[in-house]
Structure 1
Amino acid sequence: MARKAKPERADVCIIGAGASGAAAAKVLTERGLGVVGLERGPWRTKETFGGDELANVNRYNLWPDPLLNPRTVRTSADEEARIELFCPVPQMVGGGTVHWQGWLPRFTENDFRPRTVIGDLPGATLADWSITYADLEPYYDKVEWAFGVSGAAGANVYESPRTRGYPCPPMPMSRYAKKFHAGCAALGYNSFPTPQAALSRPFNGRPATVVSAFAQQHGDPTGTRSSALNVFIPDAVATGRYDLRPDSYVRELTVDALGRVASAVYADADGDLVEQEADVFVLACGAVESARLLLLSRSGRYPNGLANGSDLVGRNVTFHEYSAAVGLFDDPIYAWAGGGYVSASSFQFYEHDDSRGFASGGHIACAGVGIPLPINWSLPDRPLWGPEAKRMDREYFNHSMAVAMVVHDMPQHDNRVDLDEKVTDAWGLPAARITLTPHPNDLAMGRWLIDRNAEILDAAGAHKTYRVYIDRITGNCSHQHGTTRMGDDPETSVLDRDCRAHEVDNLFVVDGGPFPTATGANPTLTIMANAWRVAERIADGHSAPGR
């Protein structure tokens, strides 16, 4: 690789331009700082989405190509790791928000103090967060109003206090949402419209979101979806202080004589090496890739990886797991319609309850297909091919719906991300290796929640119900947390409460890596809110006297 001349030094260098990196870029540039953004993937526009939609699912149009960007997985340190597309996130400007359904529930007050609420759970490394819901609530509000989130404040009776309501009313109700509400009501459960990163009405100069079956796992050819690509990136670019460089693959972070980060070394779109210097560095690569970059950044001062004197970088990783109960109805449901934009949820089983026999709980919601592929393709009694498979497709396609749940998988010290020295990517760098053993609590929670989901479908009038239980964490979800845990004690955490590395005072991490626990809800709203909070701290410190 040739090495190009160093570009001008930046105030802040953000590595990653997904949900967290884009949120931080918006805040920092609007506060007057010059920001260089280094994004590994392309910067795509709405015109490049659409067309052959199945390409998005099957031909790595949005997902990382495992031939170029392999990731390996094993269930224990004694097992040979296998290459697998585990917990993939689109590597492009906008990140996972390019393909999401945009479910944006807030965490609850108790999510920030699981050790206090649950107590000791053998085999798990439960820890209270070093910040509280009250610390984050103003930033939840900022993100919701920047995105124009559609929802109904107060409809979730378990939600924690809010500064104000949602900027837009709920999205229109689908047939499957009506079924879900009816089933919950029959059982005496609270349900509510899922808060969505979509506009139910024109907002802040943007038109209402076009509701399409092609939502999850697809880009938005209309440009009306609320996402980092459509909201935060344009906001940052509009300041004139955001130099976003796509197709820039960061290989390592170098350090100076004081042990601070000096530069990010990356391969640009031409394959040449570039060294970008900055005062402050912010990692926003996703929990897996941020940990990998820190571990790749070995030096004489940090022989085990940057900021890894505690050997905690990559540990306590959690991923969530989606699973569902599926119900078949006599009347048509059209679960493919709306792509999940018009969903409904319940936190009825979200908070911890000792009487259940397991710790914590999870968010449940009704689900459209979203890809779109038939829900019945996941049913255990459907053949993969032949006349019976075709019959089930014809008879079930418009008559099936799912009630899905998020498993709050428990953090464990030996569940980790490290480097696989036997497998390298297309740039010759070791792949991220994930070691993941499910905690018995994960499986017990998953089974119990699936049973509750099936009961809701039965109560809604399903004439047949399937339970799809989990026996492991498969990586079928794009939620990553925990590899750079935040905390007040450098012996038990990588970052402080402001997500600054304990060992490196100009290094911050703002993706899901800082989360001490996964919680039972979709994390992206909290990731963006926390990134906004941390960016304000960085801006305050950069403008402090003496700098």
Structure 2
Amino acid sequence: MTHHPTWSSLPDVADVLVVGAGPAGAAIAKGFADAGMSVVCLEQGDWPDYSSARSDQPAFEVAAGKAWSALPNVREGVGDYPIDESESDISALMWNGIGGSVMLYAGQWMRNMPSDFRVRTLDGVADDWPFTYEDLVPYYAKAEHDFAVAGYHGDPAVPDSATYPMLAAPIGEGGRRVARGHNKLGWHWWPGSNAIATRNYGRLKACVQRGTCIWGCVDGAKSTPDITHWPDLIARGVHVVARAAVWKIETNERGLATGAVFFDAQGVERRQRAKVVVLAANGVGTPRILQMSADARHPDGLANSSGLVGKRLMMHPYAAVVGMFDDPIGTTQGIYGQLVYSLEFYETDPSRGFVRGAKWNLMPTGGPIAMMRPFPWGDNSDMWGEPFHRTVKTRLNHSITWGITCEDLPEERNQVLLSDQETDAYGLPAARIVYQTSDNSRRMLDFMSARAQESLIASGASSVSVAPQVRETGWHLLGTTTMGVDPKTSVVNGYGVTHDIPNLVVADGSTWPTSAGMNPTATVVAMALRTAEHLVSGRSHQEVPA
């Protein structure tokens, strides 16, 4: 579905302006629409073009490269802005368009653990969140139904919860072997939970197991807001404007947000006024907009009295460990989410030499060309020339990957800045990322990689390949407008309301004070639902511009 409203159809002053049409923007817009409020959503990119995905065609792997690349600097699509990552050892991955970056996710859907909200109390590092796991439980349950999560109820490693709306996808022969290996070791495993429909559900169709999830799901099985949310919201009167590049949030003399300035598809500068402004532009886009919004009253950018806007970037350092088996294990296909996950090493154990832990997710390795990509194999420098055919034959349909998502602790030196060298299509500053993986994370990656090798050997793998840290894995952009109770040490409160501007709200992963070790979409959506409910219930007391 594509939808392009006319300028005359937009309200002069919306009750709520949402910047960003990803899962957070869609979830919070739904909360406001359910309360009968007028909502305008401005999205920098366009509606996804599934005809360019090609994942149902034999030549898919050849065509998968540019249009569906997770790297904005490679994709260079409508709405993408350059990212200077010359000072970062992880590349930031994102998608600017209706649906947001989950257009490229593998659909892995995990709640945070209770300990993730109490890191300071439990481990003496970072900060506790200003709310608990229990506070999010009803919103997690709603999010799982809104996003059609398929999984199995009752994992003994996590708090019990309502059942998922549908059963998990098959784990396949590869998943069964690794599950048996973990049983031998006495280690935790559980069938994967994914926002990938295993039966028809609303507008979603049942997954046909192509294994192409991160390059555009042409079958309409992966839960993305362009399918699950926006069509219904538009039908109900929510205004979604694609190719609207917001670059400035304006404020008045009372210190309230009055709306946004943006460039439309023709490069014409426009304004949308609103009573409440919500930023949901991800952990890079949100601080970029706040920094670009600097003016005489806010020389360091909006909502930045703490000096923390853009700081404490977390991106989940990631390792990949692949096991090769002598016989075929059926891993050219299957969901590219998680067949199985393990939380065996998720919680802190001081004897390991680091704090916090990691979630492991088991994935198929894909088709022939995937056997040569950097992910999950590393630099592949030893496969070219005479060993080439033998290496591909060893890997293809004989391999399976443990992906290791390590908790990333917040450090102020890791940050998003405005580039003074590069600009986007409108002449606006590009984003500049400064990020170095911490010693704690490096020790964690080494430990987890060694344990994952043990797992795969116990599962019957004849050999193991380790990519100890993969650069192009910055899917999770967190922490750059951190939440807390003290305005001196945080940007927003526990509901995402900025301390400095009471009608300016942040509703994406940039508010996280710590990163947890889980895929963040479930918690991002749950938090957005909670924030919408809070703002709706306090609507009569909300400060708004005249």
Same fold by TM-score greater than 0.5:
yes
Structure 1 match to 2:460: 461
Pick aligned residue for 2:48 from 44, 49, 53: 44
Secondary structure, counterpart of 1:143 in structure 2: helix
| Residue in 2 that maps onto 1:13 | 17
Corresponding residue for 1:123?
A: none
In the other structure, the counterpart of 1:114 is: 119
Matches within 5 A, 1:252-401: 252-341=248-337, 343-369=339-365, 373-375=369-371, 377=373, 378=377, 383=382, 385-401=384-400
> CA offset at residue 138 of structure 1?
0.6
1:32 to 32, 36, 42: 36
- The one-letter code sitting in structure 2 at the alignment partner of 1:196 is N
Measure, in 1, the Cα distance between the counterparts of 2:380 and 2:73.
31
Match of 2:180 among 162, 179, 182: 182
3-state DSSP of counterpart to 2:319: strand
For residues 113-192 of structure 1, what are the structure 2 equivalents within 5 Å?
113-120=118-125, 126-155=126-155, 157-162=156-161, 164-192=162-190
Residues 35-72 of structure 1 deviation map (CA, whole Å, 9 limit, x = unaligned): 11100111125455426644774224454245662111
- What is the aligned counterpart of 2:528 among 511, 527, 531? 531
Aligned-partner Cα distance in 2 for 1:56–1:131: 45
Which of 493, 498, 514 is the matching residue for 2:511? 514
Counterpart position of 2:441: 442
Residue type of the alignment partner of 2:106 = Q
Structure 1 residues 28 and 373: CA distance shift in structure 2, 3 A:
farther
Give 5+ residue unaligned stretches, structure 2. Answer: 1-6
* Cα distance, 1:379–1:9 mapped onto 2, change above 3 Å: closer
Asked whether the 8 Å contact 1:410–1:518 carries over to 2, the reply is: yes
Q: Please name the residue that 2:85 is paired with.
A: 73
User: Could you say if the C-alpha distance between residues 546 and 353 of structure 1 is closer, same or farther in structure 2, counting changes exceeding 3 Å?
Assistant: closer
- Counting only pairs closer than 5 Å after superposition, residues 196-211 of structure 1 correspond to structure 2 as 196-204=194-202, 206-211=204-209
Counterpart Cα distance in 1 of 2:289 and 2:411:
21
8 Å CA contact 1:325, 1:450 repeated in 2: yes
CA distance in 2, matches of 1:395, 1:466: 12
CA distance in 2, matches of 1:540, 1:370: 47
Change (3 A) 1:382 1:23: same
CA distance in structure 2 between the partners assigned to 1:297 and 1:323 by the alignment: 37
Which is worse superposed, 493-502 or 421-430?
A: 421-430
CA distance in structure 1 between the aligned counterparts of 2:436 and 2:142, rounded to whole angstroms:
37
Partner letter of residue 30 of structure 1?
D
Would you identify which runs of 4 or more consecutive aligned residues in structure 1 move more than 6 Å?
none
- The answer (yes or no) to whether the contact 1:319–1:478 under 8 Å persists in 2 is yes
- Following superposition, the deviation at residue 331 of structure 1 comes to 1.2
Matches within 5 A, 1:405-484: 405-470=404-469, 474-484=471-481
Cα distance in 1 for partners of 2:368, 2:45 equals: 25
Alignment match, 1:95: 100
Deviation at 1:243, TM superposition (A): 0.4
Which amino acid counterpart does residue 500 of structure 1 have in structure 2? V
Aligned equivalents of 2:137, 2:106: Cα separation in 1: 23
Q: 1:404 to 1:545 in 2, by over 3 A?
A: closer
How far apart are residue 314 of structure 1 and its match?
Answer: 0.6
In structure 2, what residue type is equivalent to 1:151? G
Relative to 1, partners in 2 of residues 1:534 and 1:309: Cα closer, same or farther, differing over 3 Å? same
Q: Aligned partners of 1:37 and 1:370: how far apart in 2?
A: 36
Q: Which amino acid aligns with 1:337?
A: Q
Does the CA contact (< 8 Å) of 2:338 and 2:362 recur in 1? no
Aligned-pair CA distance for 1:99:
2.1
Rounded Cα–Cα distance in structure 2 between residues aligned with 1:119 and 1:505: 31
State whether residues 285 and 511 of structure 1, in contact with CA within 8 Å, keep that contact through their aligned partners in structure 2: yes
Amino acid at match of 2:198: S
Cα distance in 1 between the residues matched to 2:14 and 2:370: 49
- Counterpart contact for 1:322–1:407, Cα < 8 Å: yes
8 Å Cα contact 1:321-1:475 kept in structure 2: no
| Distance change >3 Å, CA 248–CA 546, structure 1 → 2 | closer
1:474 Cα deviation after fit: 3.0
Q: Residue 381 of structure 1: CA displacement?
A: 6.3
Matched-pair contact (CA < 8 Å) for 2:371–2:392: no
Contact 1:254/1:263 (8 A) holds in 2: yes
Q: Which one-letter code corresponds to 2:115 in the other structure?
A: N
Counterparts in 2 of 1:372 and 1:204: CA distance versus 1, 3 Å: farther
> d(CA) in 2 for partners of 1:356 and 1:262?
51
Shift of 1:179: 1.9
Distance 1:447 1:328 in 2: 20
CA-to-aligned-CA distance 1:254-298 (integer Å, 9 cap, x gap): 111111111201000111111000000000100111001000001
Alpha-carbon distance change, 35 to 370 in structure 1, aligned in 2, over 3 angstroms: farther
What is the Cα deviation at residue 437 of structure 1? Answer: 2.1
Q: Which runs of 5+ in 1 are unaligned?
A: 76-80, 121-125
Q: Distance in 1 between matches of 2:39 and 2:366?
A: 35
Question: Which string of whole-angstrom CA distances, capped at 9 and with x for unpartnered residues, describes residues 471-520 of structure 1?
Answer: xx835231010000000000110000110000000111111100001111
Amino acid at match of 1:148: A
**Which secondary structure does the structure 2 equivalent of 1:492 belong to?**
coil
**Whole-angstrom CA distance in 2 between matches of 1:28 and 1:369:** 41
Q: 2:109 aligns with which of 89, 104, 121?
A: 104
Q: Distance in 2 between matches of 1:387 and 1:49?
A: 33
Residue identity over aligned pairs, in percent, reads: 33
Q: How many residues align?
A: 526
What displacement does 1:186 show?
A: 1.0
Which residue number corresponds to residue 23 of structure 1? 27
Alpha-carbon distance, 1:98 to partner? 1.5
**Which whole-Å CA distance do the structure 2 matches of 1:261 and 1:455 have between them?**
54
Residue 387 of structure 1: SS of its match in structure 2?
A: coil
